[in-house]
C-alpha cells in the first residue's frame, strides 16, 4: 500500500477505447464500455483462454469482469464496474469509478515495453477521513475443468501468492507447456484472496472467480496472518499497481518476481531450523524463534507442531510449518482413531467401522445419506493406516489386530457385494459399485495376507481387482490400482498362482496401451479433470514400462509429467508450494460445507509418490525435493493431540463466508500418512 495525493488526468481524453492493446508477443482485448480486459491472448497459443469469457458459464456474470472490484468502508460497501469517466490516448486507458460518495477508484492501463501495467487507486475525495476495511479486485482466470482434452488445450491453473509486498499470480497452461501469463505486484500489497461463485451451482469443475485483496479485514480479520484497516485523510489515496507479461517458463517468471527472500525449506521437523536469506525476518507468533546472522541469514525454529507466519523484508509475508516426526504423528493418529473414530454404538459388524468425527465435540458423524460421510470409500484410509502402523512398528499389533480383524469382517459383509464389487458404504449400497474403492479394499486384504499369511485374504484381494477390471477398471484411473495390482501379483507368484498373476499384469499393460492411444482424451471421473486422474495415469504408464520395457510407455510418461506438475505452483508458502490445486472437498467431505481451494489437500501426496516412482531417466534431484516438500506440507492437517482436519479452506472468504480455516471434521486426510509410509517401504 502507498498513500499519495490525488491522481493525474490523462491528456487526449475522449478518444475511443481501442479494441486491443499489444504487449510482448500477445495482446489484451478491451471492453469498449469499461476499458477493462475481456481476454489476454498469447499469439503463440491463440486457443488458450487465460480469462473466463462471457457465456462460458452461467455463473460468470458481468460484475466479475477483470478490474471490477469492491470496497468496504465506514461510509458503506459498494462494488465498481462501469466507470463514470473513460479516457484513452496513445495506448493508455484510464477509467474513473465513483462507488461511494466522496470515493473515487481510478484505474490506469498502459503498455511499457513488453509489459502491461495496471494501477488501481482509491482516492478519498471527501472532506472527512475514510476508513477502508475491504478492498478487492476481480481477476477471473480461466481455471476451469471442461474435460481433459479441452482443459489441457485451453485452460490455465491460477497459482496465487498474496504475500503482501511479495505478491503475484501465475496463470499456467494446464498442459504445463507453452507460455505463462504472470502478474507481479510492484506497488502496494496484496494480503489475501477470496473466491466468488463457488457453491452448489458451480460444483466441482470450476474454481470460481478469484478476487485479489488489499485487505479483507471486514469479513475475516485474522486471515493470512491478519488483515489491516486502511485510513485515508481527505485527498489521500491507496494504490495497488502490478504488471503483466508473458513468460516462457515458470522459472523465468519466478526470477522476474525478484524474491525478497530465499527459504531453505517451507517445512521442517520441530526444533530443526529453516534458513531464510532476507534483509529482515520476524514472526508475530510467539512460538517462533529467529536467530540472525550478520550475513543476512536467519534461522527460524519452533518447538510446537503447527504453521507459523513469517514477516520478511519490507512488508512481505509467508507461512512455514514445523511438524512432529512422521512416526510420532502416525502414533498419535492411531491413538486418536482408535479412541474417537469407531462406531461402537452400532449393532453387530457395523460396530467395527471407522467413521468421521467432529473434533470439536468428539461425536462421530452420522452418514446422513451423504456419500462422503460413509463408513466406506475414503474412510478405508483409517484401517489401512492402522495396518501400516503395526507393520512399521508404530502400533502394538496385539491391540490393533483385533480391530482390523473386526473391520475385515465388516468390509466383507458391508463394503463388498457377493461378486466382490465395492459398495460406497454400509448404508449407501444403493449408489452402486464405486471403482475408486477397489484398490483400497484390495490393498487392505493384501496387507492382511502379508501380516498373517492366510491364503483366503490373498485370494480375496485378487478377486477384488479382477472384479474391478470386469466393471471397467481398465478405463478408470482408480487411485492406487496399478501399484496394488502389481503387489498382489507378486504375492500370487509366491503362492504358485503365476497364471492368475500374469493375466492381471496383462490387463494392466493393455489398459496402459489404451490410455497411450487416448492421448489427451482422458475419460471424466467424479471430476471432469483433476490431479488425482493424472497421477494414477502416470503410475500405470510407469508400471507398464517396468513390466514391458516398451519405450512408448517411457515417452508417454515424459509427455504427461508436465500435466501433473502444472497442478502445483511455485509459491514460497508451505500450504502452496508444489501442492496440487483442489477446490471442492471442503464441501463434499467437511462439516462446514464450504467450497473453495483446499491447501494442502491430502491427494496432493499422489504427486509426491508418483514422482518417487518415476523411471531413473526422468527422476531428478528436483523432483525428489518437490516430493519431500509435498509430503511434509501435508503435516499441516494434523494436530498435536492426534486430531486432524479433512480440509483447510485457504481463501479469506468464499462467496462472502469467512474461510481460511480448518474444517472440524476428521474424515479422509489419513491417506497422506498411508502413502508416505508406503513410499518408505517396509521396515520389518
Task: Say yes or no to pLDDT of 9 above 70.
Answer: no
pLDDT band at 14 (very low <50, low <70, confident <90, very high): low
Q: pLDDT value at position 11?
A: 43
Neighbours of 516 (CB within 10 A): 20
Task: Say yes or no to pLDDT of 75 above 60.
Answer: yes
Q: pLDDT value at position 26?
A: 97
Report how far apart the first and last C-alpha atoms of the chain are (Å, whole number).
57
What is the total residue count of the chain?
Answer: 684
Q: Which long-range contacts (CB under 8 A, 24 or more apart) does 24-30 make?
A: 24/114, 24/115, 24/245, 24/246, 25/246, 26/181, 26/246, 28/116, 30/93
pLDDT band at 184 (very low <50, low <70, confident <90, very high): very high
Task: Say yes or no to pLDDT of 58 above 90.
Answer: no
Task: Say yes or no to pLDDT of 88 above 70.
Answer: yes
Please write the tens of the pLDDT for every residue from 265-306: 999 999 999 999 999 999 999 999 999 988 889 999 999 999
Please write the tens of the pLDDT for every residue from 633-666: 999 999 999 999 999 999 999 999 999 999 999 9
pLDDT band at 668 (very low <50, low <70, confident <90, very high): very high
Please write the tens of the pLDDT for every residue from 297-354: 999 999 999 999 999 999 999 999 999 999 999 999 999 999 999 999 999 999 999 9
348 Cβ neighbours under 8 A, 6+ residues apart: none
From the list 554, 576, 555, the residue with the least C-alpha distance to 567 is 576
Q: pLDDT value at position 432?
A: 83
Are the CB atoms for 17 and 86 separated by under 8 Å? Answer: yes
278 Cβ neighbours under 8 A, 6+ residues apart: 260, 261, 262, 296, 298, 312, 313
pLDDT band at 6 (very low <50, low <70, confident <90, very high): very low
Q: What is the mean pLDDT of residues 175-198?
A: 98
9 Cβ neighbours under 8 A, 6+ residues apart: 87, 94
Task: Say yes or no to pLDDT of 167 above 90.
Answer: yes
| Residue 214 burial (10 A CB sphere; 0-12, 13-18, 19+) | buried
In the chain, % of residues over pLDDT 90: 94
Are the CB atoms for 424 and 374 separated by under 8 Å? Answer: yes
- Looking at the DSSP bridge assignments, the partners of residue 104 are 123
Q: pLDDT value at position 4?
A: 38
What value, to the nearest 5°, has the Cα angle with vertex 521 and ends 553 and 205? Answer: 120
d(CA 326, CA 638): 11
Are the CB atoms for 78 and 135 separated by under 8 Å? Answer: no
DSSP label at 9?
Answer: P
> How far is C-alpha 630 from the geometric centre of its chain's CA atoms?
11
Task: Say yes or no to pLDDT of 1 above 50.
Answer: no
Please write the tens of the pLDDT for every residue from 521-530: 999 999 999 9
Global confidence as pTM:
0.96
Q: pLDDT value at position 373?
A: 97
DSSP label at 416?
Answer: B
Higher pLDDT, 513 or 295: 513
Are the CB atoms for 582 and 549 separated by under 8 Å? Answer: no
Q: What is the mean pLDDT of residues 446-471?
A: 97
Task: Say yes or no to pLDDT of 15 above 90.
Answer: no
Task: Say yes or no to pLDDT of 2 above 50.
Answer: no
d(CA 10, CA 143): 34
Please write the tens of the pLDDT for every residue from 587-640: 999 999 999 999 999 999 999 999 999 999 999 999 999 999 999 999 999 999
Q: pLDDT value at position 57?
A: 86
Q: What is the mean pLDDT of residues 90-119?
A: 97
At 518, phi and psi to the nearest 5? -65, -30
At 101, phi and psi to the nearest 5? -60, 130
Please write the tens of the pLDDT for every residue from 373-403: 999 999 999 999 999 999 999 999 999 999 9
Task: Say yes or no to pLDDT of 420 above 60.
Answer: yes
Going by their DSSP bridges, the two strands 166-173 and 180-187 should be labelled as antiparallel
Please write the tens of the pLDDT for every residue from 213-247: 999 999 999 999 999 999 999 999 999 999 999 99
Cα separations in angstroms, 128 against 2, 3, 102, 103, 228: 19, 16, 9, 11, 20
Amino acid at each position: 500500500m502507498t498513500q499519495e495525493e490525488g491522481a493525474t488526468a490523462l491528456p487526449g481524453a475522449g478518444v475511443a477505447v481501442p479494441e486491443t492493446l499489444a504487449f510482448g508477443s500477445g495482446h489484451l482485448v478491451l471492453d469498449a464500455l469499461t476499458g477493462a480486459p475481456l481476454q489476454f491472448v498469447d499469439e503463440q497459443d491463440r486457443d488458450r483462454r487465460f480469462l473466463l469469457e462471457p457465456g462460458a458459464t452461467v455463473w460468470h456474470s458481468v460484475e466479475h469482469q477483470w478490474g471490477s472490484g469492491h470496497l468496504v468502508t465506514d461510509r458503506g460497501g459498494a462494488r465498481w464496474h462501469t466507470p463514470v469517466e473513460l479516457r484513452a490516448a496513445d495506448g493508455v486507458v484510464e477509467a474513473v469509478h465513483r462507488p461511494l460518495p466522496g470515493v473515487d477508484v481510478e484505474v490506469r492501463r498502459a503498455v511499457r515495453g513488453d509489459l502491461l501495467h495496471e494501477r488501481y487507486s482509491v482516492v478519498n475525495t471527501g472532506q472527512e477521513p475514510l476508513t477502508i476495511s475491504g478492498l478487492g479486485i476481480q481477476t477471473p482466470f480461466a481455471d476451469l475443468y471442461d474435460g481433459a482434452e479441452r482443459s489441457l488445450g485451453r485452460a490455465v491453473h491460477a497459482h496465487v501468492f498474496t504475500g503482501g509486498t511479495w505478491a503475484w499470480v501465475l496463470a499456467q497452461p494446464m498442459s504445463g507447456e507453452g507460455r505463462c501469463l504472470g502478474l507481479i505486484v510492484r506497488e502496494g500489497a496484496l494480503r489475501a484472496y477470496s473466491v466468488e461463485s463457488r457453491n452448489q451451482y458451480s460444483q466441482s469443475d470450476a474454481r470460481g472467480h478469484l478476487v485479489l485483496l488489499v485487505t479483507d479485514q471486514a469479513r475475516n480479520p485474522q486471515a493470512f496472518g491478519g488483515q489491516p484497516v486502511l485510513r485515508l485523510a481527505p485527498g489521500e489515496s491507496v494504490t495497488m499497481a502490478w504488471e503483466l507479461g508473458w513468460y516462457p517458463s515458470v522459472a523465468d517468471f519466478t526470477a522476474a518476481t525478484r524474491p525478497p527472500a530465499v527459504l531453505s525449506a517451507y517445512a521442517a521437523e520441530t526444533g530443526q531450523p529453516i534458513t531464510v536469506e532476507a534483509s529482515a525476518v520476524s514472526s508475530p507468533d510467539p512460538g517462533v524463534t529467529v536467530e540472525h546472522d550478520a550475513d543476512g541469514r536467519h534461522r527460524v525454529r519452533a518447538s510446537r507442531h503447527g504453521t507459523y507466519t513469517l514477516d520478511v523484508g519490507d512488508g512481505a509475508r509467508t507461512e512455514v510449518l514445523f511438524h512432529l516426526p512422521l512416526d510420532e504423528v502416525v502414533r498419535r493418529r492411531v491413538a486418536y482413531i482408535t479412541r474417537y473414530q469407531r462406531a461402537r454404538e452400532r449393532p453387530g459388524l457395523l460396530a467395527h467401522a471407522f467413521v468421521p468425527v467432529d473434533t470439536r465435540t468428539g461425536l462421530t458423524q452420522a452418514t446422513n445419506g451423504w456419500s462422503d460421510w460413509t463408513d466406506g470409500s475414503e474412510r478405508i484410509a483409517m484401517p489401512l493406516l492402522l495396518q501400516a502402523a503395526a507393520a512399521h512398528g508404530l502400533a502394538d499389533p496385539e491391540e490393533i489386530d483385533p480391530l482390523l480383524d473386526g473391520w475385515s469382517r465388516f468390509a466383507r459383509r458391508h463394503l463388498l457385494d457377493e461378486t466382490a464389487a465395492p459398495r460406497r458404504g454400509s448404508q449407501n449400497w444403493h449408489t452402486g459399485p464405486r471403482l475408486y474403492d477397489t484398490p483400497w479394499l484390495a490393498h487392505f486384504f493384501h496387507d492382511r495376507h502379508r501380516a498373517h499369511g492366510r491364503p483366503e485374504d490373498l485370494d480375496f484381494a485378487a478377486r477384488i481387482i479382477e472384479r474391478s477390471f470386469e466393471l471397467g477398471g481398465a478405463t478408470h484411473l482408480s487411485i492406487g490400482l496399478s501399484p496394488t495390482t502389481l503387489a498382489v501379483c507378486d504375492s500370487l507368484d509366491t503362492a504358485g498362482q503365476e497364471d492368475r498373476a500374469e493375466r492381471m499384469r496383462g490387463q494392466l499393460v493393455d489398459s496402459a496401451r489404451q490410455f497411450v492411444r487416448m492421448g489427451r482424451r482422458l475419460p471424466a471421473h467424479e471430476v471432469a479433470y483433476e490431479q488425482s486422474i493424472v497421477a494414477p495415469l502416470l503410475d500405470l504408464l510407469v508400471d507398464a514400462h517396468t513390466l514391458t520395457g516398451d519405450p512408448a510407455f517411457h515417452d508417454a510418461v515424459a509427455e504427461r509429467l508436465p500435466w501433473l506438475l502444472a497442478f502445483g505452483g511455485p509459491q514460497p508458502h508451505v500450504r502452496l508450494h508444489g501442492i496440487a490445486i483442489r477446490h471442492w472437498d471442503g464441501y463434499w467431505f467437511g462439516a462446514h460445507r464450504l467450497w473453495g481451494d483446499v491447501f494442502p489437500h491430502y491427494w496432493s501426496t499422489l504427486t509426491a509418490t508418483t514422482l518417487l516412482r518415476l523411471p531413473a531417466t526422468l527422476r531428478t534431484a528436483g523432483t525428489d525435493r518437490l516430493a519431500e516438500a509435498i509430503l511434509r506440507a501435508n503435516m499441516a492437517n494434523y494436530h498435536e493431540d492426534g486430531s486432524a482436519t479433512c480440509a483447510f479452506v485457504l481463501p479469506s472468504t468464499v462467496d462472502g463466508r469467512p474461510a481460511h480455516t480448518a474444517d472440524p471434521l476428521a474424515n479422509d486426510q489419513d491417506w497422506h500418512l498411508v502413502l508416505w509410509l508406503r513410499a518408505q517401504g517396509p521396515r520389518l
